[in-house]
Amino acid sequence: MLDLIKRLRLSYEVYNFFHRKQLAHNFPLYKKYGLKKKYYSSVSSKDFPGISSEINAGTNIQKLKENKAFQDLSKEDQTSLENFENNGYAILRNFFSADKIDEANKAIEQLLAANEIRFKYGRKLMSVYKKSEAIKSMGQDKRLVEILSSLISTKTILFQSINFLQGSEQHTHSDSIHMTTFPLGKLIAVWVALENITEENGPLHYYPGSHKLPYYLNSDYQNEGNKWMIGDKSYEAYEKMIERKINETTFKKEVFLAKKGDVLIWHANLFHGGEPHTNKEKTRKSLVFHYFGEDAICYHEITQRPALMQLE
């Protein structure tokens, strides 16, 4: 019975109805893109004709190069950013100082000890930036935000943070099935190493160039549902589809062996996941930030609900 209730569109609409303020960012965007829906209604890719043919807006290379944040980076980091549109990711070495990282780790320890944060969805500590100024300041770092805004050609808004103490071991996926935008490509993610990452403690993996593949959404694995219900396919069905798609390509997996303070930025559609965490005696402290473009409608494709955002 619970599973049935979770699939009812009405269940989400009732919940959304009482979160009008957190959905207000979509009001002008619905009008801009001609989406005739109530703020609390379900929304998915099928509501946007032609969405499957949308492509990334592209990186504003000139604006990127004009940023002082870019100019202050090493040549290696600059080259990585310049290749973002082609590779789907960029690596910034030693972007955050050791002191900043230590401050973030201490905040996590204190919040856990005080029982102010709890693990969700297995190994995730969700949106700790709302409780920790140390983590919030990293997510809103002016240098970082300027770079991200240039990479997706629009001002970015911090939407979510996820902290890990262990490797996620998550199967390969694209963020666009979880945090979807219209137009597509208006999401960007940042992964921060809060300690040194080796082969033993579950490093991140990714497939350079895979962001150029189609955005695989509900319709690609028969998970659209109907007028009353969202789709009934398991997330495992999505993962298996992505595995098949990757096996049909020649993209090569790379593993991010990071040093404390290193940052990896990835495109909304880059295929990525977590390697096995083989040495359980070692932690894998890391932090992920997700950002939406301010000019994008934000929603969750799988559950077909608009994204709740608390803008400041």
Element (H, E) at 292: strand 286-293
Cβ atoms of 176 and 292 closer than 8 Å: no
Domain that holds residue 67: 2-306
- 10 Å CB burial of residue 28 (0-12, 13-18, 19+) is exposed
Report the CATH number that the domain containing residue 165 is assigned in CATH.
Answer: 2.60.120.620
C-alpha–C-alpha distance, residues 17 and 38, integer Å: 9
Strand-pairing partners, residue 289, are 161, 190
Q: How many domains does the chain have?
A: 1
> 97-122 pLDDT, tens per residue?
999 999 999 999 999 999 999 999 88
Chunked mean pLDDT (size 10), the chain, 312 residues:
81 94 92 89 86 55 88 97 96 98 98 95 93 97 95 93 96 96 94 97 97 95 93 95 96 97 97 96 96 93 91 57
**Can you read off the two tokens belonging to residue 101?**
């990282």
Angle at 297 between CA 293 and CA 300, to 5 degrees: 105
Position 48 in a domain? yes
Position 58 in a domain? yes
pLDDT at 62: 84
Name, in order, each residue with C-beta under 8 angstroms of 297's C-beta and a sequence gap of 6 or more: 26, 29, 30, 33, 35, 43, 181, 182, 306
Position 312 in a domain? no
Position 170 in a domain? yes
- SS3 assignment, position 204: strand
* Whole-Å CA distances, 110 to 125, 131, 192: 13, 11, 20
pLDDT at 3: 73
> 163-205 pLDDT, tens per residue?
999 999 999 999 999 999 999 999 999 999 999 999 999 999 9
pLDDT at 54: 46
pLDDT at 293: 93
Report pTM. 0.94
pLDDT at 52: 43
Position 311 in a domain? no
Q: What is the DSSP letter of 115?
A: T
pLDDT at 21: 93
